[in-house]
Amino acid sequence: MCGIVGYVGPKKSMTTLIDGLKRLEYRGYDSAGISIMNGKGVETRKAKGKIAALEQAISAHPLDGNIGIAHTRWATHGPPNEMNAHPHTDCTGTISVVHNGIIENYGPLRAMLQKTGHTFTSETDTEVLAHLIEAAFDGNLEEAVIDALALVEGTYGIAVISAKDPDKIVAARKGSPLLIGLGDQPGEYYVASDVAAILQHTRQVVYLDDGEMAILTRTGYEVCDLDAQTVKKGVSRIDWDLDQIEKGGFDHFMLKEIFEQPTTIQNTMRGRLVPDEGFSKLGGLNLTKEELQQLDQIVITACGTSWHSALIGEMMIEEHARIRCEVEYASEFRYRNPIITDKTLCVVISQSGETADTLAAMREAKRRGAKTLGLVNVVGSTIAREDDGGIYLHAGPEIGVASTKAFTSQVIALALLTLKLGRLRNMSVVKGREVAQALEELPGQIQSMLDRAAEVEKIAEEFVTATNFLYLGRGYNFPVALEGALKLKEISYIHAEGYPAAEMKHGPIALIDENMPVVFIAPHDSVFDKVVSNVQEVKARGGRVIALTSRDEPALHGKIDYEFRIPQTIDMLNPVLAAIPLQLLAYYIAAKRGLNVDQPRNLAKSVTVE
């Protein structure tokens, strides 16, 4: 899995393909490759490592042609090396395939193909596709692809070219995102797994849905299903600019995106907040007032950072809307037998809108009769197209693999949903106005902390060589402890754990000594006094305390080694403010360790396989 880009048109394809791969680097990858139709056949170059290594391979043996496909791989089957890199070819070298996803039955398929004389050169599941298409080929590439995919179990987003049926690219998807780009020049078309790969060339795209296939030639494009029946598709326009996926003078995308949060949070709220009435307008829910009032359960399902925002949403909804709410890991949800009724609202959260486990959980909830609501950042994503209603985050493209601005926008979207549900039920106008006012103040409060980022950088300098961290919080701040620990793990490779502060004495306290940094999220909220006692327990054992506080507290004097003040707000919004210095702490530690902050090892931006 990772990134796909393809081109057919009048221009030389190599530069377009390489530039597209570079736009996809943020997704994380360990090898890259390219196949081009050179007028005589298919030529392929592959390399382990970064795209620069692929460029060196091409420089040594140049490629030339107007049709091609390219790929960045994140290893699933077989280690990262040139042999396992995509594209993969058939026995004759005339068919070339790039693939995102996992072929679950590749073992039996490979054995079947080997028995009929096919020779494999890689350890990947993807190579099976090339040989299946070869075995089915009878002069028409799209027919061969249809026949091959009929035998496949699993997920895929693929692009295929063949020297025996030249001048076309065939692409198909099931469970892995894929889109078509309509070029500005006549006879120019693109295929990509992510719009970032082609945005510099076109804003007009057609999103493929599961079970659909596209045939791209210089004379046009056609979309059909896997029974070869034509499907009519609408054209979408991308409304964000290329400079939004540039660093804009920052050293890393992650730092840029941290500093964008005053704007992105404002964008999430724009047009949705009615401060005078203490209400929120969410027109995309597609649920009537009566349907919202009849809900008796909300299930929120997500993965990773989105799961942490879901935990915060659970507390908001139960406290202020008084609706029973459960948070489920999307990866576990569909393998249980969850209690879902027609009065259940299933909220699914995914930055990309393509997370495989979250998408599958949403489909399972719909199958069981629940209404589904998607909180996604990517317009036109699969979750956005398949949910019953949704709240777009409007955070703009997030390039850094470790999510920052999407997390805070998710929490804001959940706060807006809470405000709407609460006011429809038992939240007073006065309370609604208090929440709305606190939401309005957040962008300025965040900017005030970003203006003091140097304070966090100075703290980070003290912990560059640390090997373990503990993050502790209570109430609304426990999920922030989880998120802070995750950020540090993701980009600095330092082991870190988040716990409810009270749980420290039920195990983690055994780890605390003078070498263990402990981060307390301790704003002056309803559980502040309880957190103070936990701080005392850490100091009594020689631990080094880093505390996020919101005002001077005599009870903490002499008990904190490092302190960062966050602005005062209502309890439910403390996580938004506390997240900012924790993101900065993780960033500065990783950057000072000389690590690749935007592309941490082994991670992908959009996890489109189970």
Active site residues: 2, 605
CB 93 within 8 A of CB 55: no
Structural Rg of the chain based on CA atoms: 25
The string over 245-255, giving b where at least 16 C-beta atoms fall within 10 Å of a residue's C-beta and e elsewhere, is beeeeeebbbb
Closest among 602, 608, 399 to 489, alpha carbons compared: 602
Q: What's the rounded Cα separation, in Å, for the pair 330 and 332?
A: 5
Task: Tell which phi-psi region holds residue 567, choosing left (phi > 0), alpha (psi between -120 and 50) or beta.
Answer: beta
Beta-strand relationship, 179-182 and 297-302: unpaired
CB 388 within 8 A of CB 285: no
Q: What's the rounded Cα separation, in Å, for the pair 561 and 81?
A: 46
Q: What's the rounded Cα separation, in Å, for the pair 74 and 29?
A: 4
Four-CA torsion 523, 524, 529, 533, nearest 10 degrees:
30
Q: What's the rounded Cα separation, in Å, for the pair 290 and 282?
A: 15
Q: What's the rounded Cα separation, in Å, for the pair 520 and 561?
A: 11
CB 267 within 8 A of CB 396: yes
Largest CA distance in the chain: 81
Q: What's the rounded Cα separation, in Å, for the pair 471 and 483?
A: 9
Q: What's the rounded Cα separation, in Å, for the pair 446 and 567?
A: 8
State in Å, rounded, how far the first CA of the chain is from the last one. Answer: 11
Identify residue 31 by its one-letter amino acid code: S
Identify residue 471 by its one-letter amino acid code: Y
Beta-strand relationship, 468-473 and 517-521: parallel
430: Cβ contacts below 8 Å, ≥ 6 apart: 278
37: helix, strand or coil? strand
φ and ψ of 473, to 5 deg:
-155, 165
